[in-house]
Amino acid sequence: MSCLPLTSKRLRQLAFVMGGLCVEALLFGAASLFTFPCGAQELASGSGKVDARGSVYTDDDETTIITSYVGTELGLPGGARFGAHGLVDIISTASVDVVAAATSSFEEVRVEFGARAGMVVSEGVDLGLAFVRSAENDWTSYSPQLTSSFELFEKNTTLSFGYGFSYNQVGRSGDPNFEQRLDAHTTQLGVTQLLDKKTLLGAAYTLSFAKGWQSSPYRYVRIAAGPSVLERHPETRLRHAGTLNALRHLRKGLALDGSYRFYGDDWGVMSHTATAALRMDFSRHFDARLRVRGYYQSAAEFWQESYTQTMRYMSLDRELGTFWDVGGGAKIGWHNSMWEINVKADAIYYRFIDFSLLDSRLALVTDLGVGLKW
């Protein structure tokens, strides 16, 4: 199934309601940041696929996200391919963040469209280009992307490179005079190595630099000796992430994969993410996956739940505080030569260490995907 492309705005939305699962796991996941590394491959001329997906996120913090996605990819003559997608997010929340900002609740709709093209320019060399536009009532994003991969040593080694730029126009609902801008550059280098017939290792390094408006236009921080003021984050942010992955075939129809990611930035945030999954093929048509994941994050240097005086940088964003989460789930799939159907469900428990307005949260994510290929 196709990955859901992510723009800067979508990442900030998901971070608002889902925590580190999205901030680091998605922003610095190779499969989600760039379009073609999700499954870049040569398609025979005239062949193609269509994927449709619907997912629902809900938690006990009064937040629901409904996402609908449709994408297609078509093989063209000469080793070229073309793809396009559309995505709609519907967010409804009465989270404590919203209530703390003196708003009872809000609903938001985001619409995204994207196109991509790629080509196998020579044996083992693949290039791709993509463009994504995302828009809603207070945010518009334009994101061109470039990807490439190179197979070496009889295809036992693959090197990959990706670069993405995101131009974001930031507004504030109900305030036509509020106009801000955020630019983000992200580069990723990766390598995968086939060690033997049963073992595949991978490593990736991601560097991201953002400049511009990185605060919420709606969130206020509390000042002990005065009125609340709009939060202020630094205008620049430099992020680093390193990821290690391993996939091991255990026996026929059974494989184990795991990953570890370390993340750090110049705001003082550091995080650790560990994931393990057991993949099973029951027959020619049925497969399943069991997955567990853990995440821990330290707070930004300037983060406080309340401030005794006005400071240069201030934030009440709980996603910049210290927290951890743990979760897991299952996926069951059916497929034949043309069709593919996947059903997934994950539960996630969050523990916010320093955020008294919400000390914990329990979330459920369900997903149904259907694919057709020819």
| pLDDT tens column, 328-362 | 999 999 999 999 999 999 999 999 998 888 999 99
What string of DSSP letters covers 350-362?
EEESS-TT-SEEE
**Cα 316 from Cα 240, distance rounded (Å):** 23
What local confidence, expressed as pLDDT, does residue 3 receive?
Answer: 39
Token pair 């925590």 is found at: 19
**Cα 278 from Cα 269, distance rounded (Å):** 30
**Cα 248 from Cα 244, distance rounded (Å):** 14
CA dihedral 262, 266, 269, 275 (to 10 degrees): -20
Q: What is the dihedral sign for C-alpha 301, 302, 308, 311? A: positive
What local confidence, expressed as pLDDT, does residue 265 receive?
Answer: 98
What local confidence, expressed as pLDDT, does residue 270 receive?
Answer: 98
**Tokens of residue 315, six digits:** 């934030």
What local confidence, expressed as pLDDT, does residue 107 receive?
Answer: 86
What local confidence, expressed as pLDDT, does residue 10 receive?
Answer: 43
Outline where 73-210 has alpha helix (H): 96-100
**Three-class secondary structure of residue 320 per DSSP:** helix
**Cα 176 from Cα 199, distance rounded (Å):** 56
**Three-class secondary structure of residue 26 per DSSP:** coil
| pLDDT < 50 positions in the chain | 1-39, 102
| Beta pairing partners, 142 | 133, 167
User: Are 216 and 316 spatial neighbours (Cβ–Cβ below 8 Å)?
Assistant: no
**Tokens of residue 328, six digits:** 């897991």
**Tokens of residue 2, six digits:** 């196709």
What local confidence, expressed as pLDDT, does residue 315 receive?
Answer: 92
**Cα 328 from Cα 331, distance rounded (Å):** 10
Domain architecture of the chain: domains with CATH: 8-373 (2.40.160.40)
Q: CB atoms < 10 A from the CB of 78, how many? A: 9
**Tokens of residue 80, six digits:** 């070229």
Gyration radius from the chain CA atoms: 21
**Cα 266 from Cα 149, distance rounded (Å):** 30
Q: Which residues contact 368 (CB under 8 A, 6 or more apart)?
A: 53, 54, 55, 341, 342, 343, 344
**Cα 161 from Cα 144, distance rounded (Å):** 15
**Cα 331 from Cα 287, distance rounded (Å):** 8
Number of H helices, E strands in the chain: 4, 18
